[in-house]
A and B are shown apart, each in its own frame.
Chain A
Amino acid sequence: AQSVTQLGSHVSVSEGALVLLRCNYSSSVPPYLFWYVQYPNQGLQLLLKYTTGATLVKGINGFEAEFKKSETSFHLTKPSAHMSDAAEYFCAVNSNTGNQFYFGTGTSLTVIP
């Protein structure tokens, strides 16, 4: 069974500050891990993904995430928040044998000018 927990349904940061969105997963098989961003009235857009290989993954818009197997975590970070980063962020898990993606409940990021 696979599942995702996103700690913090709402996160506020000042413009220019570090962004940290938390994601912990549960998986009985090697996971594929994803972060998606959803802007109002738009579909989900892939930010980054981890499948195999390097555990530090870089994505679009300056975001990155690190797969930590020992902590079952895949936290999303960005060194300096921009106003345009305000959106809903979803973490998701799958595996190389599964067709089902399991999404977390999302974290709404607010960027304060």
Chain B
Amino acid sequence: GAGVSQTPSNKVTEKGKYVELRCDPISGHTALYWYRQSLGQGPEFLIYFQGTGAADDSGLPNDRFFAVRPEGSVSTLKIQRTERGDSAMYLCASSPTSVPDTQYFGPGTRLTVL
């Protein structure tokens, strides 16, 4: 079956611009996670959805970052007033249950802020 997909695969933007990154989880998966992975680092937790609600957004670095999942499937990570330090790989993962023992990762979106 289809895995987690993320679009776009690459996004180049200018400092100060607004960007949206999309994640399509595996069909039927209730849990969805966003991570940020900087070069040479492991993934860093940003936010976790269970269904439509953000169950844990403690990893969002500041109020420029926001994520939604209005219908409990597709999720969008939104970054306002982008900064060069936001450049990273943004990963999405989904899980079939609320028990955090299995995540399926998408290929990621490479964001470059010039």
Using CB atoms and an 8 Å cutoff, list the residues of chain A in contact with chain B: 4, 9, 32, 36, 41-46, 49, 51, 90, 92, 94-96, 98-106
Contacts and interface: CB of A to CB of B under 8 A. Distances in A.
B27 interface: no
Contacts of A103: 35, 42-44
B25 interface: no
B43 A43 contact: no
Contact of A90 (B3, B42, B48, B99): B42
A25 B36 CA distance: 21
A32 B100 contact: yes
Given A100-B48, A103-B44, A43 B103 contact: no
Contacts of B102: 46, 49
Contacts of A101: 33, 43, 45, 100, 103
Contacts of B45: 100-102
Contacts of B50: 99
B8 interface: no
Contact of B105 (A32, A45, A51, A105): A45
A48 B107 CA distance: 19
- The 9 A-B pairs at the shortest CB distance, nearest first, are namely A103-B42, A43-B105, A44-B105, A99-B48, A43-B107, A100-B45, A103-B43, A99-B56, A94-B100
Contact of B100 (A36, A42, A90, A98): A98
B1 interface: no
Given A49-B101, A101-B33, A106-B42, A41 B55 contact: no
Nearest to B31: A99
A4 B40 CA distance: 15
Contacts of A45: 105
